[in-house]
Structure 1
């Protein structure tokens, strides 16, 4: 009975892996393209109006297996770059992004 449960569990894991791998999209990026980066660690304000995408960033280098090296064209230090997984990127098609900052002044009661 234990051996049957082990085989059943192994078969289930293989089927679930194949199902989830089928849902992954193959993305190919070229050098110099503008992309948006998905910020999965954004937990400051939970809500529908807060955007989870930041950017646009420029692709500096494309590495194997869908990895991209990004650089921020609006920063002062143009040599600053970082490497991210290609699944966290999507192509930026243009337009202005309005970055809104809110300042809250807190006072003691």
Structure 2
């Protein structure tokens, strides 16, 4: 089969156009991947910032009385039983929120600080404001 010079030039031009279109598509694909990566990074930063707001910062000092959350009671059938046990005394505060507590002089153990809350003996005393309505509507 014989091809004219004009047909060969047309085929070469078509191949060049196709090559350029393919390179353009590959560049767009790289840009989309980069954009998706950046969106994922922003999402992770925002969720971390949100979750860090939820976490309560608790500071314990040696000698504080604390209550320990007992997570095993959550699955029990005894609904009226308290999920907090204690009070325990803080004997040592470790790095990254670990706290060493003791029930009595001999039993010491380490727990995560997120499972503890300060123990206040007795009820809170608060002021009660009494408002009298002289002209109450009927």
Normalising by structure 2, we get a TM-score of 0.57
1:7 shift after superposition: 2.1
**Deviation per CA, 1:27-73, whole angstroms, max 9, x where unpaired?**
221212110011223222274x3322111111111122332101113
Structure with larger RCO (C-alpha < 8 A, sep 6+): 1
In terms of fraction of residues, the more helix-rich structure is 2
Other-structure match for 1:64: 95
Structure 1 residue runs without a partner (length 5+): 96-109
Aligned residues: CA RMSD: 1.9
Structure 2 residue runs without a partner (length 5+): 1-31, 123-138
In terms of fraction of residues, the more strand-rich structure is 1
Largest Rg, 1 or 2: 2
Q: Which runs of 4+ in 1 moved over 4 A?
A: none
